[in-house]
């Protein structure tokens, strides 16, 4: 590892660079360890979440922020990327590992936990998904390229949900919510994330006014699925009335020009603060 002085769009500096294919990232060490390491996954913007990892480290959780896709975009990204990074954390630090993800990173965290968890013992998912969605490639999708899954496992694409819906406009920009019309619980046809396979516990955070995708509805789908498999005690859902998509400590208050993320500032801040406190308690319990 080597010291790092740079950071991504949402964050800053101070981590040690880690290069251990198939991932690379920055490791932020806690001054006094609380006994859990956290793997931090960014969203579809591709910006490594150093500032979020630093927040975890500030609470006593060694944190590794990785960048999990490259120039090919989010197309059949191997779920093994997560288990490889989690295994590296466990091996290097000798600590139990949790995964924290936001938005598309939350989808990845949940899918990896269900299909290839490795040493992961807990998942924290902000603005999550309940299904595997179609992938996205650089330059967008003009219809000329075949639609492909976001994820792969063992070299094979995961079944995923496709939609032909188009975004709509609002005063704040494009509303992508129509592009993610979520199937009903019984209609996922093998595309729902089978989280009941994961033996650990899960924390979900969502806002009722998310305009990027239906994270509130999908979080509720995850809860119902876990309940149906006798796992209600292993999932916690924190919902925020009026909150939108940008609800992690490092994204609350940010603007993405041209895209309507939903929510109002006060509701976003309130949910972010409440969820962060719960997340810290959740992780400390994992260490107990």
Strand partners, 240: 207
Tokens 């319990």 -> residue: 285
Peptide bond preceding 22: is omega within 30 degrees of 0, i.e. cis?
A: yes
What's this model's pTM, rounded to 2 decimal places? Answer: 0.92
Q: Residue 239: which CATH number?
A: 3.40.50.1820
Residue 139 has a pLDDT of 56
- 207 with 215: CB under 8 angstroms? yes
Structural domains counted in the chain = 1
Q: Which two tokens stand for residue 215?
A: 């994270």
Domain encompassing residue 207 = 2-287
Once rounded to an integer, what is the mean pLDDT over residues 238-244? 98
pLDDT in tens, 90-130: 999 999 999 999 999 999 999 999 999 999 999 999 999 99
For residue 202, the SS3 value is strand
């Amino acid at each position: 590892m080597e010291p790092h002085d740079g950071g991504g769009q949402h964050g800053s500096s101070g981590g040690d660079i880690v290069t251990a294919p198939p991932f690379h990232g920055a490791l932020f060490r806690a001054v006094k360890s609380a006994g859990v390491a956290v793997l931090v996954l960014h969203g579809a913007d591709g910006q490594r979440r150093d500032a979020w990892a630093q927040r975890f480290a500030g609470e006593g959780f060694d944190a590794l922020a990785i960048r999990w896709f490259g120039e090919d975009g989010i197309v059949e990204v191997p779920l093994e990327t997560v288990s490889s990074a989690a295994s590296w954390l466990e091996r290097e630090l000798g600590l139990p590992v949790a995964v924290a993800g936001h938005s598309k990173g939350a989808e990845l965290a949940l899918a990896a936990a269900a299909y290839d968890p490795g040493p992961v013992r807990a998942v924290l998912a902000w603005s999550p998904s309940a299904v595997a969605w179609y992938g996205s490639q650089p330059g967008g999708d003009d219809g000329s390229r075949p639609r492909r899954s976001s994820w792969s496992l063992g070299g094979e694409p995961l079944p995923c949900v496709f939609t032909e819906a188009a975004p709509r406009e609002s005063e704040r920009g494009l509303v992508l919510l129509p592009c993610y019309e979520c199937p009903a619980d019984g209609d996922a046809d093998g595309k729902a994330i089978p989280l009941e396979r994961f033996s650990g516990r899960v924390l979900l955070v969502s806002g009722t006014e998310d305009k990027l995708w239906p994270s509130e509805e999908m979080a509720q789908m995850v809860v119902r699925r876990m309940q149906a498999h006798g796992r209600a005690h292993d999932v916690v859902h924190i919902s925020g009335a009026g909150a939108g998509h940008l609800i992690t400590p490092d994204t609350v208050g940010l603007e993405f020009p041209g895209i309507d993320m939903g929510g109002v500032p006060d509701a976003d801040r309130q949910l972010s603060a409440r969820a962060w406190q719960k997340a810290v308690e959740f992780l400390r319990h994992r260490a107990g």
